[in-house]
Structure 1
Amino acid sequence: MSKTIQELEPKAIWKNFTALNAVPRPSKKEARVIQFMLDFGARLKLETFKDEVGNVIVRKPATKGYEKRKMVTLQSHLDMVHQKNNDTNFDFDTQGIEMFVDEDWVRAKGTTLGADNGLGVATIMALLESVDIPHPALEALFTIDEETGMTGAKGLKAGVLKGDILLNLDTEEDDEIGIGCAGGIDVTAERKYRSKSTSKNSMAFEIIVKGLKGGHSGMDIHKGLGNANKIMNRVLHLGAEHHKLRIATIQGGSLRNAIPRESAATVVIDKKKQKAFQNDFENWSTTIKKEKLITEPALEIMLREVKRPKGVLPQKVQTKLLNALYAAHNGVYAMSAAFDNLVETSNNIARVEVEQGKIRISCLTRSSVDSGKLDLAQSLRAAFELADCKVSFSGDYPGWNPNPNSAILEVLKNQYIKIFKAAPNVAACHAGLECGILGQNYPKMDMISFGPTIRGAHSPDERVQISSVQKFWTFTLAILKNIPE
């Protein structure tokens, strides 16, 4: 399997991507991949070091004739999103990603692939170990924890980097040149409760929502994909309204930056209502699946009888929770007036946990306008405070303001047109790139973002297009060859 991947062109990238994907690299658990990169740089006898938060920096001198060109900082993040299908037996903490070739795509077996941002890392590795590629002085910046807080970029101090130009290799369309991105903030709502005992005349069911596509909570938020937490809340609200359903537990979603694909809830009803509830549940399920047929054809909403739990949510707590989740905005909140077809502000209700006396709701709010981000965050706070939750904001990071007069942008546009005989799509994206954060300590650094075509990022359907990696490599080499003095 790995041999097949390594034989793909360009071999220099796929060889390094295979080696990288053999190293477990969850966000906030990057010790092994940090050491992997330190060993890599040391093996090449290049200046290699780790800063105080764990970012790895490697420097390589310019090739002959390129000594006077501006120094380029190549930047990608080491961590990857860990998502898997429920029926996939896989331990991200100990196993390497299992890859395979599917026509013009590389995929993983039931898990995320790590092309986000492993292809960028592998490309930088290929450049660092190259002996026949012309380039100016290079500085590789491998950041940590991009996916769950961007703490690597936030912790990088001023004065560490020496580059004049930063090439961020984390864009997911091979015809796109990124010049801006959204900022984000985590909104978390929490409260405690005392369970109420269940009646002996009651029975329990598990409700399961699954089969949703999921995806990147920024780049895919405009696609109208189903959110398992919102679908589950709708079913629970109907059950409570029509059959006095009581909630014992909810476990929905996983990562804050992934659109939730699955949710499970344990509920209790009066035994006398069993048939009526099951009939209505079937009707509700059919209605919701019809609504989502085009965007979510594999959606399943299932019901099965389970052992009755000892306790359920108090009635008032349950009512407020369901109403708050119904009121809380999910999806696109505002479109950009500055860029056509660009989401400006959005929210992802990423995680809902109700169990053992604790309620926790986790959201990721994004916007390319800081005031818009905070406006939506305050709207969410208001909804959750009506449910008596304590609401906190954390992980706030800025967006990256576009610079249409960027000198490196002109280099990329000219080279793209020269090589591919078409104009690139110069755009901002509704995702969190590290450029905005890095720009706070390095305001004079000219920044740009580009990359190969990746689909389904942050989901087990993640895949990278082989032909686009070849295109990306050609483009990268041309950019480095044409860096100005």
Structure 2
Amino acid sequence: MSSEIRQLEPQQLWNKFADLNAVPRASKKEERVIAFIKDFGKNLGLETIEDEVGNVIIRKPATAGMENRVTVVMQSHLDMVHQKNNDTDFDFDTQGIQMYVDGDWVKAKGTTLGADNGLGVATIMAILESTDIPHPPIEALFTIDEETGMTGAKGLKGGLLKGEILLNLDTEEDDEIGVGCAGGIDVTATRTYTEEETPEFKIGFDITVKGLQGGHSGMQIHEGLGNANKLMNRLLFDGFENFGLRISEIDGGSLRNAIPRESKAIVAIDAIHEDAFLLEMQQQANTLKTEFKTMEPDLEIIVSKTEVPEKIMDLGVQEGFTRAMYAAPNGVYRMSPDIPNLVETSNNIARVIVKDGHIKIGCLTRSSVESSKMDLANTLRSAFELTGCEVEFTSDYPGWQPNMDSEILKVLTKVYKDLNGEEANVAACHAGLECGILGTHYPEMDMISFGPTIKGAHSPDERAQISSAQKYWKFVLEILKQIPVN
């Protein structure tokens, strides 16, 4: 399958992407891809270092005639989000991504593609390997663990890089030039509870919510996509209100930065309510399908009989839990009053686990305004603490404030218009980019972000547009030619 990808233009880019996608590279499991990138740099005879947290820096001198240009840092992250469909047999720890071409798109078979941020990494690799591409002095910065905490960017030491301009290749619309992004914080609620023996005359049911699109919890949070954890809670709440449904287990969502696509629950109800319960669940399923028919046409809600669970949640804890889940904000919290159509603040209820006397609810809260981010985080904290949970704030990272007077922004907007005959969309985004963190270590560095068109990032529907990659590659090459004189 990678042979098909390797024939695409520009071949330099797609060949490096195929090489990279053969290497497992989950967040926090980057040992193999770090070694891969280090070997790549050393085999080219270039200065290659790994810092104390695992970031890799490769330095390449300017090509002839470009020695007097400003040194440029080209930056992308090595890790990728690992998501797969339930019916896909795939081991991310041992297998390379299985890619194929579908019209104008490169896709993966039932898994995330890794174009986020693999196409950025591949771009930098192709530039480093090239012998005929004009470019200024380059410091290639490959960071780790961007997707689950940005610990690579956080751990990068000031003074290690000498470049004055940073090109972050992690934007996902090819007509967009990024000048700002949201910060984020993980909000995690936990508590223990006493399980009860399931009373007699109960019957067990599995409830499954699946078929949702999922997606990037920053870039797609405004699209009205279904959140499997919130939909499941509606079903459980209704079942309890009408039939005394009792919860045994819940397993919903996966990664903090992915809108949850699936949730499963094991519940118990009184046997005498079986027919009425199934009818009510079918009516609720039909209501949700109608409500989400435009955005989630493949939504499935399956209720099937199973063995009676041995244990169920304490009744008071269950009532508090389902109400807290109802009260907890999910989706867009506030739109920016300053930048049209920009989500300022949002939350993704990403992960819900109820099992063996333990509750864990994981959220990722994002905002381009620090005070608004903490306002929403405290809103969530309050909802969960009212039901007896302990709430922890972790992985806090800053946003990236736009600089509309940026010199490299002027270069990119001119190059884009010259190449495409139209103005680029200069914008801030609601995703978390590493620029905000890197800017704390290198406050004088002039930063910009751009990239090829990628759709469905963080989901098995992730796909990269081939024609966009061609457009983007030309953009990259021209930018490198136009880097100003030092």
- 1:400 paired residue number: 400
**What letter matches 2:27 in structure 1?**
S
Which runs of structure 2 are paired with 1:150-229 in the superposition (5 Å)?
Answer: 150-229=150-229
**Displacement of 1:30:** 0.1
Q: Which residue does the alignment assign to 2:461?
A: 461
Is the partner of 1:230 in helix, strand or coil?
helix
Aligned to 1:427: 427
Distance 2:338 2:24 in 1: 40
Return the alpha-carbon distance in structure 2 between the equivalents of residues 329 and 405 of structure 1. 36
Spell out, residue by residue over 1:47-71, the C-alpha distance to the aligned partner (whole angstroms, 9 max, x if none): 0010000000000000111111000
Partner of 1:33: 33
- Distance in structure 2 (CA, Å) of the matches to 1:257 and 1:50: 27
Instruction: Specify the SS of the correspondent of 2:200.
Output: coil
- CA deviations over 1:73-124 (Å, ceiling 9, x no partner): 0000000000000000011111100000000000000000000000000000
* Equivalence for 1:48: 48
In 2, Cα distance between equivalents of 1:305 and 1:18: 45
1:18 matched to 2:18? The reply is yes
Q: Distance in 2 between matches of 1:109 and 1:24?
A: 15
Paired with 1:383 and 1:353, the residues of 2 have a C-alpha distance of 17
Q: Quick one: distance in 1 between partners of 2:342 and 2:133?
A: 36
Match of residue 275 from structure 1:
275
Task: Name 2:7's counterpart in structure 1.
Answer: 7
Secondary structure (helix, strand or coil) at the match of 1:223 reads coil
Q: Give me the whole-angstrom Cα distance separating, in 2, the residues matched to 1:279 and 1:481.
A: 66
Q: How far off its partner does 1:2 sit? A: 1.0
Specify every segment of 5 or more residues in structure 1 that has no aligned partner in the other structure, as ranges.
none
Which residues in structure 2 correspond to 1:64-463 (within 5 Å)?
64-463=64-463
| 2: CA distance, partners of 1:369 / 1:199 | 50
Cα distance in structure 1, aligned partners of 2:133 and 2:97: 29
Rounded Cα–Cα distance in structure 2 between residues aligned with 1:3 and 1:196: 57
What do the CA deviations read for 1:326-361 (whole angstroms, capped 9, x no partner)?
Answer: 000000000011111000000000000000110000
Paired with 1:188 and 1:146, the residues of 2 have a C-alpha distance of 19
The whole-number CA distance in structure 2 between the counterparts of 1:425 and 1:460 is 27
Paired AA for residue 306 in structure 2:
V
Cα deviation 1:10-56 (Å, max 9, x = unaligned): 00010000010000000000000000000000000000010000000
Specify the SS of the correspondent of 2:231: helix
User: Structure 2: which amino acid aligns with 1:37?
Assistant: I
Aligned equivalent of 1:477: 477
Following superposition, the deviation at residue 203 of structure 1 comes to 0.5
Match of 1:430, SS state, is coil
| TM-score, length-scaled by structure 1 | 1.00
Distance of 2:131 and 2:279 partners within structure 1: 69
Instruction: Work out the CA distance in 2 between the residues paired with 1:10 and 1:339.
Output: 35
Q: For 2:141, what is the secondary structure of its paired residue?
A: strand
Alpha-carbon deviations, 1:199-258, whole Å to 9, x = none?
221010000000000000000000000000000000000000000000000000000000
Opposite residue 135 of structure 2, the aligned amino acid is: H
* Distance in 1, Cα, partners of 2:262 & 2:163: 43
Moved more, 193-202 or 181-190: 193-202
* Structure 1 CA distance for aligned equivalents of residues 337 and 124 of structure 2: 35
Distance 1:134 1:93 in 2: 37
Aligned partners of 2:475 and 2:280: how far apart in 1? Answer: 57
2:264 corresponds to which letter in structure 1? A
Residue 222 of structure 1 aligns to a residue whose secondary structure is: coil
Q: Which runs of 5+ in 2 are unaligned?
A: none
The letter for the 2-side match of 1:327 is A
How far apart in 2 are the matches of 1:287 and 1:418?
51
Output the CA distance in 1 between the equivalents of 2:344 and 2:138: 34
Distance in 1, matches of 2:240 and 2:72, equals 59
- Deviation track 1:436-466 (CA, whole Å, cap 9, x = no partner) reads 0000010000000000000000000000000
Report the AA paired with residue 128 of structure 1.
Answer: L
Q: Which amino acid aligns with 2:313?
A: L
Aligned length: 485
* Equivalent AA in structure 1 for residue 300 of structure 2: E
Distance 1:286 1:136 in 2: 59
Distance (Å, rounded) in 2 between the aligned partners of 1:70 and 1:245:
66
